[in-house]
Amino acid sequence: MSPAPALDLRCYLVTSGTGRRTVEVAAAAAAAGAGVVQVRAKDIPTAELLQLVLAVAEAVRAANPGTRVLVDDRADVAAAARRRGAAVHGVHLGQDDLPVTDARALLGPDALIGLTTGTLELVRAAEEVRDQVDYLGAGPFRLTPTKDSGRPPLGIEGYRALTAASSLPIVAIGDVTPEDAPALVQAGAAGVALVRAVMDAPDPARTVRTVLAGIAGV
């Protein structure tokens, strides 16, 4: 068996919505080179979330088998999808979700696990489980209407301190635009997570290509 490709965090899509467009945008982003698609739908029943995850995973695998599909918050749903043979690669955990060690035990050693941070204290705490976590999300970059973390915005300079304190790659999130990507990568981020900038774009694939081109120029 060939080894899994390296985790590509440069352009990371976090989905919104639960309908057909969500699946179509995820596939378009993957086809354009997004390395990760995280399925996020916090307010729908578990059974509906599983069906959404399965649909996204199928569409993403057809568009680009190298793109990793993660489930936001729900390690149980990720595990169920994986048991069904879906191309679901792991989970992204918040600070109040299942602890990392338990998620790792549930999903197994080959699963991807991301963890939300956003302060120096949280980044340093994540070092205690660095052998079980694959990357950190850190935000907000700016205040965003899609998620109220309760943390102050980091701005570009905030990422310099966080990345210096972490042995794990850090993805910037929180109202990030494609134009922000080069400066964030220069500040140490491994990549950027986008929600509205891709999900609401008239041409999601073009947005992803713009992010990747901007990072390539750094």
Binding-site entries: 38-42, 72-73, 97, 116, 144-147
pLDDT tens sequence across 65-114: 999 999 999 999 999 999 999 999 999 999 999 999 999 999 999 999 99
Reported as a single tens digit per residue, the pLDDT across 106-121 is: 999 999 999 999 999 9
| pLDDT on residue 1 | 42
Nearest 5°: the CA angle 131, 135, 140 is: 135
pLDDT, tens only, 196-214: 999 999 999 999 999 999 9
Q: Which residues are annotated as a binding site for Mg(2+)?
A: 73, 97
Q: What is the mean pLDDT of the chain?
A: 96
pTM as predicted = 0.96
- Tell me the C-alpha to C-alpha distance, in Å, between residue 38 and each of 29, 156, 166, 183, 186: 11, 23, 22, 23, 24
- CA atoms of 54 and 39, how far apart (whole Å): 10
The string of pLDDT tens digits covering residues 140-157 is 999 876 666 678 899 999
**CB atoms < 10 A from the CB of 27, how many?**
24
Asked if the 11-216 domain carries CATH number 3.40.50.300, the reply is no
> What residue ranges do the domains of the chain occupy?
11-216
